[in-house]
Amino acid sequence: NAFAEPAPIMAVLHRTFIARLSRLKGKTALVTGSTSGIGLGIAKALARQGANIVLNGFGDVDGPRAEVLAAGQAAGAQVAYHGADMSRVADIEDMVQYSVRNFGQIDILVNNAGIQHVARVEDFPPERWDSIIAINLSSAFHTSRLVLPMMQAADGGKGWGRIINVASVHGLVGSAQKSAYVAAKHGIVGLTKVTALENATSGITCNAICPGWVLTPLVQKQVDAKAEQHGISNEEAKKLLLGEKEPSMQFTTPEELGELAVFFCSPPAANVRGVAWNMDGGWAAQ
Ligand code: NAD
């Protein structure tokens, strides 16, 4: 029966295909703020490579969990979820312990959770400032300080780990009305450099990704505000937003950012340390 067994050549091709799919098999990635947008895109890309994923974030969990499971199915990735509020240190500690209980180790840490608020400095509500600094900056310090000791013990004490901080082009340049966000993102680029330097002789790298505009719920709010402010359509508001800052006139996608995260986790990226890597359609080149 010709259909009972795959032909040998097919079996080899199948094994090669699965091996190429499973470059992160056996690794565990904790991705903060991964129930939506960029975090979800990165979680799916890492799962596609076989990494087990700990999801985190607010809102619907079943939908994102199903998407990540589907992305990682062929490579056998497992998915867990913890609802830590990244502004609360005790929650972050609990999430790290939960991840280790579930998967034994955290090998890849993606600090992605973030929020935005737009107002001039003199009008900026102090409690919004505090939340943005806590969620967009301090949470990355807490996850990193908790995860680094286990990364340093990995690979027989030589250390292995990947820390990817989702900063922003606003980690490199400013924009009016975004004081807390720009301060937090410049801060996380600094934290990235120091973390990279402190682990530079080990297998642990730390790098930042600096996206320009990505059409996620975080940015859709700013598109809606522009549409209302100028009495224009959603499409016109998107063009206006891109035209102000992004020479390519294109949004970067969560899928593209996911593939950059996969590259940072790959062997050829072993000596990429402490960079702030833009994917911004030329925004910061101006
Ligand atoms: P998003 O609103 O789609 O997703 C944010 C995620 O963070 C969600 O899962 C949300 O539930 C989670 N989150 C928010 N507050 C949280 C908290 N206190 N605790 C735990 N989770 C929390 O936004 P996004 O655009 O995907 O943003 C993700 C990251 O990318 C942010 O750090 C953002 O600053 C950065 N970024 C976004 C853009 C863009 O254009 N969208 C550009 C540059 C950088």
| Nearest-angstrom CA–CA distance, 46 and 30 | 10
Q: What does residue 166 show for φ and ψ, rounded to 5 degrees?
A: -80, 95
pLDDT at 5: 56
pLDDT at residue 236 above 60?
yes
Mean pLDDT of 119-146: 98
pLDDT level of residue 143 (50, 70, 90 thresholds): very high
What pLDDT is attached to residue 1? 47
Q: Decide: 284 in ligand 1 pocket, CB within 6 A.
A: no
Under the banding of pLDDT at 50, 70 and 90, the label for residue 120 is very high
Cα distances (angstroms) measured from residue 6 to each of 22, 74, 90, 276: 21, 18, 52, 46
Q: Confidence band (pLDDT; 50, 70, 90) for 209?
A: very high
Instruction: Name the average pLDDT for the chain.
Output: 95
Rounded distance between C-alpha atoms, residue 236 and residue 123, angstroms: 28
pLDDT tens-digit readout, 258-279: 999 999 999 999 999 999 999 9
Region 14-38: mean pLDDT is 85
Angstrom distance (rounded) from CA 140 to CA 196: 14
Is the shortest distance between the CB of 130 and ligand 1 below 6 Å? no
Bridge-based pairing of strands 276-279 and 203-211 is: parallel
- For residue 237, the CA-to-ligand 1 centroid distance in Å is 21
Q: Stretch 77-106: mean pLDDT, rounded?
A: 98
CA of 226 to the centre of ligand 1 (A): 20
- Do the bridges between strand 160-166 and strand 79-82 make them parallel or antiparallel, or are there none, so unpaired? unpaired
What count of residues does the chain have? 286
Q: Is the pLDDT of residue 9 over 90?
A: no
For 56-85, write each residue's pLDDT tens digit. 999 999 999 999 999 999 999 999 999 999
- Residue 181 is a catalytic residue: yes
Distance CA 254, CA 38 (A): 5
What SS3 state is found at 103?
Answer: helix
Supply the pLDDT for residue 21: 58
DSSP 137-194: IIHHHHHHHHHHHHHHHTGGGT-EEEEEEE--GGGTS--TTBHHHHHHHHHHHHHHHH
248: CB partners within 8 A, 6+ apart: 242, 281, 282
Q: What is the pLDDT of residue 36?
A: 97
pLDDT at 11 over 80: no
Is pLDDT at 204 greater than 60 in this prediction? yes
Q: Which residue has the higher pLDDT, 240 or 21?
A: 240
Kindly report, residue by residue over 37-58, the tens digit of the pLDDT: 999 999 999 999 999 999 999 9
Which has more pLDDT, 19 or 190?
190
Residue 180 CB neighbour total at 10 angstroms = 24
Instruction: Tell me the average pLDDT across 150-158.
Output: 97
What number does the ligand 1 atom closest to the CA of 251 have? Answer: 40
Nearest of 134, 154, 118, 140 to residue 209 by alpha carbon: 140
Task: State how far the Cα of 231 lies from the Cα of 220, in Å rounded to an integer.
Answer: 16
pLDDT band, very low/low/confident/very high, at 2 (cuts 50, 70, 90): very low
Q: CA 164, CA 161: separation in Å to the nearest integer?
A: 10
- Ligand 1 atom at minimal distance to the Cα of residue 59: 11
pTM above 0.75, yes or no: yes
Does ligand 1 lie within 6 Å of residue 43's CB atom? no
